[in-house]
Structure 1
Amino acid sequence: MHIDYTVQIWKEDSQFIAHAMPLDIMSSGLTPEAARIALDEAVHLFLVTAADIGTLDEILQEVGYKFQDGKWISPQWVAIEKHSVTVGV
């Protein structure tokens, strides 16, 4: 089974954080590449575990994947944007 996902990476202090959207799985590493590798492993383990316990289809549907023509289609991202807001506190 082949499942696509979008990855967002940012830096927090000395670590790079990688987030698999829309699966909402995260991992980290000392470099962006290390974070990617750790995330790919975490996603793989999550999906294999979900398949083993019989919840993979339900999980993918809940996060927006569609099953079409015998394969899972990931949600199409329109934009990933950085916004800010001023709060008068």
Structure 2
Amino acid sequence: MSHNVSFHLKMPIQVKKKDSHFVAGSSVLDVWSQGEDRDKAIQNAQEAIALFLESCFDRGTLDDVLKECGFISFSKSGVPRELAKAIPSAEDEFEADIDIPLAINP
């Protein structure tokens, strides 16, 4: 019997208008998508990010990809002060919810 599990993360997303469409994505992972309006671009970017992370997990490369993107682990006390200052926040950037569904196969 398998059990469904979902990992939930918040990811910074940037949105920009390009001609007649919008481009949205994560510069953290370098994953981008587009849509005919802002909401569709965001929705497509969230799906693209989830699929990218699922694909990395399936190939066994998730740890390497996250490290290559600059991810580090830190204690529950929070992001080290020197890193928190280094994280840019753009006017067209916000945090989006990304769900990554997995199943446990005992």
TM interval, short-chain normalised: 0.7 to 0.9
- 1:5 and 1:23 in contact (8 A); partners too: no
Match of 1:44 among 41, 47, 50: 50
Pairing partner for 2:20 from 11, 14, 22: 14
RMSD of aligned alpha carbons: 2.2
Question: Displacement, 1:69?
Answer: 5.3
- Mean CA deviation greater in 3-12 or 29-38: 3-12
Any gaps of 5 or more consecutive residues in structure 1?
82-89
For structure 2, list consecutive stretches of 5 or more residues without a partner in the other structure.
1-6, 92-106
Given the alignment, which residue of 49, 62, 66 partners 1:60? 66
Choose between structure 1 and 2 for higher RCO, CA contacts under 8 A separated by at least 6 residues: 2
For normalisation by structure 2, the TM-score amounts to 0.64
Residue type of the alignment partner of 2:16 = W
Please say if residues 5 and 21 of structure 1, whose CA atoms lie closer than 8 Å, have aligned partners that are also in contact.
no
Aligned equivalents of 2:9 and 2:27: distance in 1? Answer: 12
1:29 aligns with 2:35: yes
TM-score normalised by length of structure 1: 0.75
* Maintained 8 Å contact 2:25/2:46: no
SS class of match (1:6): strand
1:40-87 CA-partner distances (Å, limit 9, x unpaired): 1100110001000100011011111113459xx8x7523437xxxxxx
Percent sequence identity over aligned pairs: 33
2:52 paired with 1:80: no
